Amino acid sequence: MRHPQPERMTNVSIGSRIAAVIAIACFVAMTGCGEPTGPRTICCVSHPQPEQIATNLSVLAVELHDAADIFAQGVEDAALRPKAELAVNNLADQLLAGRVQSSRAALFQARLLLASLNDTQAIDLAPVGLALDYVERRMNEILTGS
């Protein structure tokens, strides 16, 4: 007695193809979440570390707040004056609070302002650039304990 051989399916319907594609996509998405290059899941998100505080930085803030007014008086461009004063005062505020990362970010923003100036404006704000150099050098000295 012969057993009938099952017929092979040669006609795969579109519905089963879509289901197969969805199943493969779900598998790839689930395994990709655990990979460093895949999307982050809730379990992988690290909690932000508190910002480093260095109270010694506050000594630079007083000098910088005083200098901000003097720097602003030397700027002839009325639109540039408040931007320069704001950048220097923001840096001074961060230094006064002793926030290391925020101080470095404010210093970077002030340098970006100086880098975006034309020649005439750059001459007006040359003392600000020198002050930023001094503040950065003193910050590094304070933080390294030199």
- Note whether 139 and 94 are within 8 A (CB): no
Alpha helix stretches (DSSP H) within the chain: 14-32, 58-73, 80-97, 100-115, 119-124, 126-144
pTM of the model: 0.63
How large is the average pLDDT for residues 19-35? 66
How large is the average pLDDT for residues 81-95? 90
Q: Which residues contact 89 (CB under 8 A, 6 or more apart)?
A: 65, 68
Residue 63 has pLDDT above 70, yes or no: yes
Q: How far apart are CA 32 and CA 36, in angstroms?
A: 8
Q: What is the pLDDT of residue 39?
A: 55
Tell me the per-residue pLDDT of 101-138, one tens digit each, with 9 for 90 and over: 999 999 999 999 989 888 888 888 888 888 899 999 99
Nearest in space to 91 (alpha carbons), one of 74, 112, 77: 112
Nearest in space to 57 (alpha carbons), one of 17, 89, 98: 98
Q: Is 28 helix (H, G, I), strand (E, B) or coil?
A: helix
Q: How far apart are CA 33 and CA 26, in angstroms?
A: 11
Give the chain's mean pLDDT.
79
